[in-house]
Structure 1
Amino acid sequence: MCSSVGLAPSTPVEQCLAAVKADVAKDGVAAPAADVAGLQKVVAGAQEHGIDLKVVVMETSPPIDTPLRDIATEIGHANPGATVLVLSPGWAGTYSTTYDRVLLEAGQDVAKTAPNPVVGTQAFVDQLQTPDFPWVGFTITLVIGVTAAAVLTRVLQLRAKRSQHTQIPAEQVE
């Protein structure tokens, strides 16, 4: 995390986090200098679409991805209403009170596999803007369709049974 604000890796974590928060507060981005301009453009584009995006890019990855989500949560708490993306080589962590975890994780998946942080961040924003499949409507339609098919099947069974009884000769009924 320290590398995203130009501090040495030996800097205490609390000091690095404070520097990252301050950097993000300025322009929405805490990243190595080479990525800042491109990320600022992506953040500005996201803002035009109503997404308050904050991005942190780390030059090295932790052993697991959990610390990235922890950092994203810290940045999110410092920036209420923001959606936060933290990227490292091969990992991503997110935080948002606006988007659900499923959508965030879908965005993480496309962001962490991108060739660089700018492309990954843009892919993340694009994923947030992708319309969801209307599962509720689909489920309701499916339930109604299955119910109608079951009722229709039962009605046809009863008709077939009645017509079978009316076709039986009178001497067989006795």
Structure 2
Amino acid sequence: MTVSHTSVFTPMAAELPPNVTEDTVTTINADLADNHVATVDGKDQTELAAIAADAREHGIALNIVVVPGNQGYESLRDLATEVGQTQHGTVLVLADDWVGTYSDSVSRVRLEWAEDKAKFNGGHSVEAARHFVDKLEQPEVVSWTTIAGVLLAGTAAAVVGLYFVKSRRRAEPAAPVSVSDSDSDRASTA
């Protein structure tokens, strides 16, 4: 009898937006070299370059890519990942209403938190990029490390407390059971 261990969950292939080819990715990487902004449709980059420069001054190595149309979310993230493999830092890919990001220095949780504010801006890439950077520059309100530590400490305290209660119960002597005469008579006749 042979057993096959094939996985049902195979990773999905990375897919670039429909109008973006490998040659376009090469062009995007070349365009990012001068001001950390690339626009596939040739839009003016001046305001976006100022936003990227501001982010870099605040410690966020940001590259901004603008693609035309309303691409799917996954394809924008795939494009950001593709560009991020060459550029490093944080890559923000903007479409009309969707955003894709990649970063080797910012957590996925923070990226998605910032993405929420940058989505649905109707193709106003400058406004979307500004919202994204503003969110990333805000101090983290919730420290997930602290929350995880508190939950772990609480769980450990509960386990120790239960162990203590069980050990005390085990150590208590059992109360003697008194058997009355009528009970012993019934037991012997049964």
Same fold (TM over 0.5): yes
Amino acid at match of 1:23: D
Cα deviation for residue 35 of structure 1 reads 4.2
CA displacement, residues 8-52 of structure 1 (integer Å, 9 cap, x when unaligned): x5xx71221111111012210012444411101100100110111
Q: Deviations over 1:35-86 (max 9, x none)?
A: 4111011001001101110000112122x21111111111111112x10000
Residue in structure 1 matched with residue 61 of structure 2 by the alignment: 52
Contact 1:51 1:83 in 2 (8 A): yes
Q: What is the deviation of 1:108?
A: 1.2
2-structure distance, mates of 1:78, 1:45: 21
Q: SS state of the match for residue 25, structure 1?
A: helix
Is 1:114–1:120's contact at 8 Å kept on the other side of the alignment?
yes
* TM-score (normalizing by structure 2): 0.64
Q: Where does the alignment leave 5 or more consecutive residues of structure 1 unmatched?
A: 3-8, 152-174
Alignment of 1:1-12 (within 5 A): none
User: What residue number does 1:40 align with?
Assistant: 49
Partners in 2 of 1:141 and 1:95 — Cα distance? 30
Gaps of 5+ in 2: 1-15, 162-190
* Aligned mate of 2:135, from 105, 122, 127: 127
Aligned length: 143
- Greater share of helix residues, 1 or 2? 1
1:130-170 per-position Cα deviation (integer Å, ceiling 9, x unaligned): 222124435655766xx69xx8xxxxxxxxxxxxxxxxxxx
Q: 1:126 to 1:18 in 2, by over 3 A?
A: same
CA–CA separation in structure 1 for the residues paired with 2:54 and 2:32:
16
Larger Rg: 2
Corresponding residue for residue 118 of structure 2: 111
Aligned to 2:103: 96
TM-score calculated relative to the size of structure 1: 0.69
Q: Which residue of 2 aligns with 1:164?
A: none
Distance 1:139 1:14 in 2: 41
Query: 1:59 is paired with a residue of what secondary structure?
Result: coil
Aligned to 2:170: none
Aligned residue type for 1:18: T
Residues 48-87 of structure 1: matches in 2 within 5 Å? 48-62=57-71, 64-80=72-88, 82-87=89-94
* 1:95 aligned counterpart, secondary structure: strand
**Does the CA contact (< 8 Å) of 2:96 and 2:121 recur in 1?**
no
* Cα distance change, pair 141–121 in 1 and its aligned pair in 2 (3 A): same
CA contact (8 A) 1:35 1:118 kept: no
Structure 1 pair 136/78, CA: closer, same or farther in 2 (3 Å)? closer
Residues 57, 87 of structure 1: 8 Å contact kept: yes
Q: 1:113 to 1:22 in 2, by over 3 A?
A: same
